[in-house]
C-alpha cells in the first residue's frame, strides 16, 4: 500500500475530483492524506467511483487542515518523516495563492526527498499507470550533508 498525498488548489478541485473518480479502483486501495476541502472532494469522488464500479473496500483517508491554514506545512512534515510515497498536487499556475510560500516549501520538500510528484492530470495518469505504482518502491535519497556542513 502506498501513502498518497492529494492536494488541489480551488480552480483545480474539479479536475482532482474527476481524476480521483476515474482512478477510484486504483487509488482507493492505498492510504490517502489530503488537505482540507480536497479531502472531502476526493472522498466523495472515490465513493461515486466505487458505486459506478460496483466495488467496495474500506477507504483510508486522513484530512489535514486547509492549505492556507497550515495543511501544506502538515503535508511537508509528513514528507520529512518519510510518511508520503507519492504526491498528487494539482496547483494553479494562473492564480496567486495567499500561502504561496507554503506551496513552494511543500514542492521543495517533495523534490528534496525525491517523492514522485504529479502537478497535473496528465502526469497523474502517467504515475498511476506506471508498473512501479503497483510495486514497492524506495526512492534514492541524495546526501545533502555537504550543504548542511558548509560555512558561509
- 86 close to 119: Cβ distance less than 8 angstroms: no
- 71 close to 65: Cβ distance less than 8 angstroms: yes
Tell me the C-alpha distance between 40 and 121, whole Å: 19
Residue positions annotated with a catalytic role: 72
3-state secondary structure of 20: helix
Residue 6: what are its φ and ψ, rounded to 5°? Answer: -130, 130
Amino acid at each position: 500500500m502506498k501513502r498518497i498525498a492529494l492536494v488541489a488548489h480551488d480552480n483545480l478541485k474539479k479536475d482532482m475530483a474527476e481524476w480521483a473518480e476515474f482512478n477510484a479502483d486504483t487509488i482507493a486501495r492505498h492510504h490517502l492524506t489530503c488537505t482540507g476541502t480536497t479531502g472531502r472532494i476526493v472522498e466523495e469522488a472515490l465513493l461515486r467511483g466505487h458505486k459506478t464500479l460496483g466495488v467496495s473496500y474500506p477507504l483510508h483517508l486522513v484530512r489535514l487542515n486547509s492549505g492556507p491554514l497550515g495543511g501544506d506545512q502538515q503535508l511537508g512534515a509528513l514528507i520529512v518523516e518519510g510518511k508520503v510515497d507519492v504526491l498528487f498536487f494539482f496547483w494553479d499556475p494562473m492564480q496567486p495563492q495567499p500561502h504561496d510560500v507554503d506551496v513552494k516549501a511543500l514542492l521543495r520538500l517533495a523534490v528534496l526527498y525525491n517523492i514522485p510528484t504529479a502537478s497535473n492530470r496528465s502526469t497523474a495518469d502517467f504515475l498511476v499507470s506506471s508498473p512501479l505504482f503497483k510495486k514497492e518502491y524506495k526512492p534514492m535519497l541524495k546526501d545533502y550533508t555537504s550543504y548542511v556542513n558548509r560555512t558561509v
